[in-house]
Structure 1
Amino acid sequence: MVSWFVLCTKPQKEFQVERLFQEAGFPFYCPRFKSSGRIKPFFPCYVFLRFEYPEQFKLVKYTRGVRRVVGNDAGAVPLEDRFIEELQSREISGLIELEKYGVEPSPGDEIEVADGPWKGLRGVFKKSLSDRDRVMILLNYVSYQGQLLIEKSKLKKVLS
Structure 2
Amino acid sequence: MKNWFVLQTKPLKEAIVETLLRQAGLGVYYPRIREEDGRIHSLFPCYEFVHFDYPSQYRLVRFTRGVRRVVGNERGPIPIEAALIQEIKAREVDGFIILEDDLGPPEPGDLIEVVKGPWRGLKSIFQRTLSGEQRVMILLNYVQYQGKLIVPRNQIRKARP
Pick closer, same or farther for the CA change 1:115–1:62 going to 2, 3 Å.
farther
**Other-structure match for 1:125:** 128
C-alpha RMSD over aligned residues: 2.5
**Structure 1, unpaired ranges of 5+:** 130-134
Q: Single out whichever of 74-83 and 90-99 deviates more from structure 2.
A: 90-99
Provide Cα deviations, 1:67-107, integer angstroms capped at 9, x if missing partner. Answer: 1100001011111111111111122222222221433347x
TM-score, normalised by the number of residues in structure 2: 0.79
Separation in structure 2 between the aligned mates of residue 12 and residue 105 of structure 1, nearest angstrom: 35
Residue 24 of structure 1: how far off its partner (Å):
2.0
**Other-structure match for 1:52:** 53
Residue 60 of structure 1: how far off its partner (Å):
0.7
Separation in structure 1 between the aligned mates of residue 123 and residue 140 of structure 2, nearest angstrom: 14
Separation in structure 2 between the aligned mates of residue 113 and residue 35 of structure 1, nearest angstrom: 21
Structure 1 runs of 4+ aligned residues shifted over 4 Å read none
**Other-structure match for 1:31:** 31
Of 145, 149, 152, the match for 1:147: 149
Task: Verify: 1:16 aligned to 2:19, yes or no.
Answer: no
Aligned length: 151
Separation in structure 1 between the aligned mates of residue 60 and residue 94 of structure 2, nearest angstrom: 32
Separation in structure 2 between the aligned mates of residue 121 and residue 6 of structure 1, nearest angstrom: 42
What SS does structure 2 have at the residue aligned with 1:110? coil
Separation in structure 2 between the aligned mates of residue 78 and residue 27 of structure 1, nearest angstrom: 14
**Other-structure match for 2:68:** 67
Match of 1:121, as an amino acid?
A: S
Q: Is the 8 A contact 1:123 1:140 kept in 2?
A: no
What SS does structure 2 have at the residue aligned with 1:55? coil
**Structure 2, unpaired ranges of 5+:** none
